[in-house]
Chain A
């Protein structure tokens, strides 16, 4: 039988993590439990679900911070999140269904770091920072783009836990777009996700972040595509150029959920749609 630890404080959790680097930190378990039907269990678990110190949402200093163990359900109920980051609320509303949303957490999504983690493209497009901590080395802030390392791999060290996710409030005039293309409308794993956050100055692109999921080994920002747009006037030719770059920048695959051809085409369609909307906004 696997060992099961349920620390009651963040301090105890970090101590447990340092003492048992081979144990799997868990929260809502909506992903890891599914895996156990076809893969080996770890030797032990550190259960963080319901740990009060890493739950909750607060606003300070131009940021909104969400505790790693805050459930999707609680995030959805928060008007501050919806007003500031409607794309995050939209993305969460499409994760699994209500039961999954009452268990799943942002920290869990980052911990698993799956290519189809539904919140990850949103966090990438919002320039989130991941606050991680260790009992010996204290805490650090890792930009989300550095936190996601590869296929189901993140930058968390063996003695670290995810504490909270910090997102900068966007200046006035910033538009946010989100789309999940799933295998159906609920209880579905994504074929593709795209999040675009952008702001124009007149006709010119002043700020642009484009992030996708399920088009590569890990959720990714498409920085080459962003570069095509940055500082440029947003007209039809720029948009076509951005779509072209996007098609070569992502590397989707054929799998049981969709095809590479479809993913590429739909990614370009959605980018065109969002950029047109941004231009017209």
Chain B
């Protein structure tokens, strides 16, 4: 037990979800069964682009206990509501198939193996159309997929005047072209959902990040009121952005099947379906030009960014926005222009993945910064320190950094650690001879929370309550997807209320029970929603104390007050809505102003060793200093940094999604490689705390930033080791061999 005034913040308390997960008691969606539940499957397109003429169900097959659904069964508007109304829940007859593995029909039945067998008896009649399969093909616009230029969205960001003159006056110009490929989230639990209908209301349970996104999409698809749709999150085994928008599609499918079959329906994707059909990180091409003066300062930047959005708009405009806003990095630059565009192609839609557009443009500018230092003959770390943004400096959007800048601190921390003995955990096998070694560095920042005015539009709400049993409850729609959200909410609420963490529980998100605190994305859960939790807990505490005073009770014992209130009056809830901190303004039209309320800062140092015979790369050392404002739960924060670092190293060196004619060719964990512990060096993780005055206890985002920079650090290290420029992600041994032979440098 604890004394009032005790802070749980900054201490690694037991995770509230830990025991259930390690003991196997946690209930994931595939653990749930309902009476009469049917198993569903999705019939998917077999071409990247075409017109769907007909779907033929083999008359010779026994369909008696199989329910089939096509777009004809959709009575409302046939689209999955998100940003635009372009993506159908099922391709309609006569409609366009826009990508391979696009849903065209659904089936379900009581016998899973019979449903599987039925899949072979469904034929699609399609008139194939020429497919647009790359950024270049999309920009050529010989085949139009969207509007009259295939551009989903474009942004221009400008600062200062006379860009051409600035380049003309520059002493050095550094120019490069960078391509980063798609990346699969590879969460451990594949996507899954169950739906059932009860008295005209729809109930959905599943693996998800954003219950209210699904709530919104289901209301639209079925024409239902708020109360008639109940979305609840089952324990979720990882998301990384992959369960941000796609679950709305899966929810639509189980709901359509359940409605027609008149029974609960479950769909669980197997790994190959999940990898083939769901969203991935956007491929991205960046052309980046920097002008430098003789003093080693950046004087001009000209950046051209093109993302491959895939077949539908989904969340791509927001990804583009973040990519554009991060493309200059944490560096001073008086004159600049950034043009970004999101293209339509006939590949499965790309979507949210940890970093959300920033890792792609970070790779480009951190390669550029490294090359700039080389051109100037400066130490790459020194060059970064000279040009970095500091307190009071102005960002690319004209935002003046008024607080919470750790650009120097993260660099110093990394360099100090580099002086120490390496942990020597993994290194190139001793038998390998003539190993080439190199060291690379990267400095970067990541805007925490929603881009621009997003949080103002969102108005996230959280309630903290005393329930009828006198227990404290945090009610928010923010999901715990393995990242520890429920634990940190417990810590923040218990600290504010002055009670023990054991007295607070976080309600499993369910749209009937929790207000909309916004989606679980954008490194906002601790910084933004955690802040609302703190305010709501404060509000509840004040109300309880007022109640105590009116009854003449001891107002110091909040737990006793809660029990008294529950016993005498009943439940008491206090709900708070997010308000942006004062003085934060962003103009979405001109792209000027405070792009993010604050930034996290990070620096990464990577030592690589390259096998001269096989071109395999071993990351022998990785030092990563990440500023999180305040580590509410240090072990969870460290876990976030380590996990993000490995995903970034994986993206840099091993992970490759292969497409052929718009179809994913390696949809399995065997062939869609992610690194294992054998690839992981002993990660040297340094938590830096530069408090954000408007975050709970100073906390800002941590989820995404570790993903942004390590890939550039790896490329910089490879250039150091091999003397060639590595500008493509992933840097597979095959790519390295090609570059060394003088192929694309």
Residues of A within 8 A of B (CB): 34, 37-38, 179, 181, 183-189, 256-259, 261-262, 265-266, 269-270, 272-273
Contacts and interface: CB of A to CB of B under 8 A. Distances in A.
Contact of B734 (A185, A262, A269): A262
Contacts of B671: 183, 189, 256-257
A266 B673 contact: no
B613 interface: yes
B658 interface: yes
Given A188-B673, A266-B613, A269-B614, A183 B734 contact: no
A265 B738 CA distance: 10
B676 A266 contact: no
Interface of B is mostly: loop
14 contacts: A37-B270, A37-B272, A38-B272, A181-B614, A181-B616, A184-B676, A187-B676, A189-B670, A256-B666, A257-B671, A258-B734, A266-B613, A269-B612, A270-B614
Interface residues of B, number: 24
B737 interface: yes
A256 B664 CA distance: 10
A122 B60 CA distance: 51
A214 to B, nearest CB: 13
Contacts of A184: 654, 673, 675-676, 678-679
A262 to B, nearest CB: 4
Interface in B650-687: 654, 658, 665-666, 670-671, 673, 675-679
A188 B658 CA distance: 17
Nearest to A273: B613
Interface of B: 270, 272, 433, 612-616, 654, 658, 665-666, 670-671, 673, 675-679, 733-734, 737-738
Given A258-B734, A259-B734, A270 B613 contact: yes
B678 A185 contact: yes
A100 B666 CA distance: 22
B610 to A, nearest CB: 13
Contact of B733 (A187, A189, A262): A262
Q: Closest 9 interchain pairs by CB?
A: A185-B678, A269-B613, A262-B734, A256-B666, A186-B678, A183-B673, A256-B671, A181-B614, A186-B676
B568 to A, nearest CB: 58
B100 to A, nearest CB: 16
A259 B616 CA distance: 14
A205 to B, nearest CB: 21
Nearest to B667: A256
Nearest to A191: B733
Contacts of A261: 734, 737-738
A185 B676 contact: yes
A272 B434 CA distance: 13
A114 B678 CA distance: 25
Contacts of A37: 270, 272
Contacts of A257: 671
Nearest to A186: B678
A265 B673 contact: no
B652 to A, nearest CB: 13
A38 B272 CA distance: 10
A187 B677 CA distance: 11
Nearest to A272: B613
Contact of B679 (A181, A185, A259, A262): A185
